[in-house]
Amino acid sequence: MLVGKIIPALLAVAVPELKAIHFANRRLAREWKTLEAMIRCYCHDHHDTSDALCPECQQLHDYAAVRLERCRFGVGKPTCANCPVHCYQKARREQVKVVMRYAGPRMLWRHPVLSLIHWLDGRRRAPEI
């Protein structure tokens, strides 16, 4: 439980322009950390950024945080690929797909634990609507 509070706080200190995002549930906090790592990986490699995100990726980052925070499934949330509800706007959904297709395979090398846990989470059944 403590890790979910420390990680966002450390990210906010390391990168001042990022707002600290807190999720009460460990699973949602971990999912957020995975998505954030994917966006950072994509932005770093495509937009030649080091610590901060480019404005386009920062907007996606902020949008994804709001969508995850307001997810109707809450704790029982499946991975986005297995979700029966598409809560992202169509343009944002395509943008996230591009980011995940690029960053997903690289996550295994850059963040192996997050990658493995995300893969295991993807094996969960999606809740009924």
- The answer to whether residues 108 and 115 touch, using CB atoms and an 8 Å cutoff, is yes
Domain of residue 73: give its range.
28-122
In-domain check, residue 127: no
Read off the pTM: 0.79
Please state, in angstroms and rounded to a whole number, the distance separating the CA atoms of residues 35 and 57.
12
Spatial distance between the Cα atoms of 106 and 103, rounded to a whole number of angstroms: 5
Number of domains in the chain: 1
Spell out the per-residue pLDDT of the chain, length 129, in tens. Answer: 444 454 444 444 444 344 567 787 888 899 999 999 999 999 999 998 888 999 999 999 999 999 999 988 888 888 888 888 888 999 999 999 999 999 999 999 999 999 999 999 888 888 887
Neighbours of 125 (CB within 10 A): 8
Residue 57 within a domain: yes
Asked if residue 56 is part of any domain, the answer here is yes
Within a domain: 20: no
Q: Return d(Cα 65, Cα 59) in angstroms, integer.
A: 10
Q: What single-letter amino acid sits at 59?
A: Q
